[in-house]
Structure 1
Amino acid sequence: MSDDAGADGDGDADELTVRQVRADDREAVVAFTESTWPERGDDYIPRVFDEWVETDGPTQRTFVLDAGDDIAGICQGVLLSAHEAWAQGMRVNPDYRGRKASPRLTHAVFDWAREQGATVCRNMVFSWNAAGLGQSRAVGFDPRTEFRWAEPAPDADVAGPDGLRVVENPSTAWTAWHRSEGRDHLAGLTLASDESWALAELAPERLHDAAADERVLAVVDDDGVRGMTFRVRTDEHEVEGETERFAEYGVGVWDDVAAARALFAAVARDAADLGVDRTRVLIPETVRHVSDVAAARVGFSDEPDFVLEADLSEV
């Protein structure tokens, strides 16, 4: 569900008006988003459009660029915490590229986010989306971090290395996260708990909430803590006409390959208990972390994702 689908130049945009989305915009929005990346699969905007309209409120605002008898673009802003906003779903109608559609929508999200008290706004772009990356930089986003997905297969019988144990203690997990080099690489960001495909800063209270609502796992040995993860949600989607259930884990960090094996074995057992088909664990995009996953004989996604950030602080 990456964003910033295409580039947008510096043409005339006087006749285009930014406003909040309405239910009757559906047909026009679906018309230019149903085949955003035909070589990569369906876009998610047509599937979530009705939900976006219904759930707009104090912590979410969806904007469109009204061209009179057509819609020139769409973008949504979401408040993830008191100071963090997330921009997503940036799509520009190909008929209106070169008319400042993307900058106008993005800055509408920035203005709305500032009004809600946000001091930072982030977005995510697939690493292969060159046009989206360029457009994100052009409208005010700066590089922040990159991540990849580890994908351990659900397995009730897999065991971790001898001498390593898994405990369900959010304070222990916080210690592992706080000390990890992965935290530094990720700029303190993990999957948001209440918004799919968004990243937010991890605070201790979020781990305590995850322990109550989902699951928190920490790898320890006699010398202390060695790794951690936490489950943020289970979800489902359609894959070639079949419904596939998956579990999503907010982040995975660990000290070495042995700790990685223990951590992903715990995730595999947890996923098997849930009865899901797949897992997805956000990991830092570093040579060490990705090669540790490979050494642990765990699958991972083919390409990383990039997170960018705009400073909304008023000076």
Structure 2
Amino acid sequence: MDVTVRDARAEDIDAVTAFADSTWDGWDYVPDAWDDWLDEGVTLVADADGRPVGTVHGVTRDDEAWLEGLRVDEDYRREGIASALVDGVVERTADRGVSVVRCMAFDGNEAGVSFLESVGFGRTATVRHGRGFGFPYGSALEPANFDESLEVVRGTEAFEAVDGLYATSDWRMWSVPDSVNGYEGEVLGFVEDGEVRGIALCDGTRINETGEERRTELVLGFVWSEPRYVSQFALDIRGEAREREIHDAVVFVPDDQTVDAFDQAGYDFDRHDHIYEKVIQ
């Protein structure tokens, strides 16, 4: 079978929607993101038999790339199309100076994990994301200095467990910058007895639409706290969302005892999010 990988075009949307919507029982975010994808990063399409049968998107930040939205028409799977698309993103981003490409795979996606390993990706971290509705408790969180906060969290078990990564509101994960000059979000600190006991990197808000429900979310892409203060910190994060008139707080935390503390503080956790990466030589 003759397969051609090329840059995506606006007119590919109908064909992409046709095979993407079959991925998650009739709905997929890819068609909604198509226009944004064409304006940002690298979006590729694989053609076979005269029509698009696969797509993928890659976006870069400094020397890192994030791979997302890999979709292949079910009639053309196991034909090397997914590999060709991923190779295309790796090659294009390498030309832009990227040294590592990452992506996310969820629990139960055994086929996806097997594929990633077959093309040279290895698991580097596992995170859990939890959602807690804004709680009218109040918040003692306050703005914190990024560089000083980084000194506190770097070397902690939490920072090492997530491989120094943090999540953004668009569900991508990047290395925590070495200085505030490379960070565009907020840093929130929890202070008790005159000492910083908890730190959260906040990437702002996002809109979560499920059916007819539309909720705002405050996204905290890395959360660390001293063990004895985790529960209080978790409640304050919910209170922070409420004070900002945001429906929910979404936290990304290591897959450790922190999950239990946030769960007891009213957060709902679902799947494990596994982060895979491929280092480009």
User: Which range is displaced more, 24-33 or 237-246?
Assistant: 237-246
Aligned to 2:37: 52
Aligned residues of 2:263 and 2:269 also touching (Cα < 8 A) = no
- The one of 140, 165, 168 equivalent to 2:143 is 168
User: Which range is displaced more, 171-180 or 274-283?
Assistant: 171-180
Letter in 1 for 2:31: P
Aligned to 2:268: 300
**Counterpart Cα distance in 2 of 1:174 and 1:92:** 40
Alignment of 1:153 with 2:133, yes or no, is: yes
Are the structure 2 counterparts of residues 176 and 151 from structure 1 closer, same or farther at C-alpha, using a change threshold of 3 Å?
farther
Alignment of 1:98 with 2:56, yes or no, is: no
SS of structure 2 residue aligned to 1:140: coil
Letter in 2 for 1:216: V
What is the percentage of aligned positions where both structures have the same residue?
A: 25
Aligned residues of 1:215 and 1:230 also touching (Cα < 8 A) = yes
- The one of 274, 297, 312 equivalent to 2:244 is 274
Letter in 2 for 1:32: F
Aligned residues of 1:229 and 1:263 also touching (Cα < 8 A) = no
Runs of 5+ unmatched residues, structure 1:
1-12, 160-164
Aligned residues of 1:75 and 1:89 also touching (Cα < 8 A) = yes
Letter in 2 for 1:144: T
TM-score normalized by structure 2?
0.92
Letter in 1 for 2:206: D
Aligned residues of 1:251 and 1:282 also touching (Cα < 8 A) = yes
SS of structure 2 residue aligned to 1:293: helix
SS of structure 2 residue aligned to 1:301: strand
Aligned to 1:75: 56
**Counterpart Cα distance in 2 of 1:118 and 1:225:** 35
C-alpha distance after superposition, 1:147-203 (max 9, x if no partner): 0012232123246xxxxx6442124432332142110111100014xx711111102
Note the 1:17-166 alignment, pairs <5 A.
17-38=4-25, 42-53=27-38, 55-56=39-40, 60-81=41-62, 83-158=63-138, 166=141
User: Which range is displaced more, 138-147 or 265-274?
Assistant: 265-274
**Counterpart Cα distance in 2 of 1:300 and 1:263:** 16
SS of structure 2 residue aligned to 1:260: helix
CA shift, 1:242, in A, is 2.4
Please identify which structure carries the higher strand content: 2
**Counterpart Cα distance in 2 of 1:47 and 1:208:** 29
CA shift, 1:261, in A, is 2.2
Aligned to 1:187: 163
Aligned residues of 2:130 and 2:269 also touching (Cα < 8 A) = yes
CA shift, 1:23, in A, is 0.8
Are the structure 2 counterparts of residues 42 and 279 from structure 1 closer, same or farther at C-alpha, using a change threshold of 3 Å?
farther
Letter in 1 for 2:237: V
**Counterpart Cα distance in 1 of 2:268 and 2:180:** 25
Letter in 2 for 1:44: Y
**Counterpart Cα distance in 1 of 2:141 and 2:267:** 21
CA shift, 1:50, in A, is 2.2
Letter in 1 for 2:224: V
Aligned to 1:5: none
Aligned residues of 1:76 and 1:87 also touching (Cα < 8 A) = yes
Letter in 1 for 2:153: W
Aligned residues of 1:207 and 1:216 also touching (Cα < 8 A) = no
Aligned to 1:225: 196
CA shift, 1:294, in A, is 2.9
Aligned length in residues: 280
Letter in 2 for 1:168: P
Alignment of 1:196 with 2:196, yes or no, is: no
Aligned to 1:238: 209
CA shift, 1:67, in A, is 1.5
C-alpha distance after superposition, 1:232-253 (max 9, x if no partner): 0211132221222111111111
Aligned to 1:253: 224
CA shift, 1:310, in A, is 0.2
**Counterpart Cα distance in 2 of 1:245 and 1:22:** 31
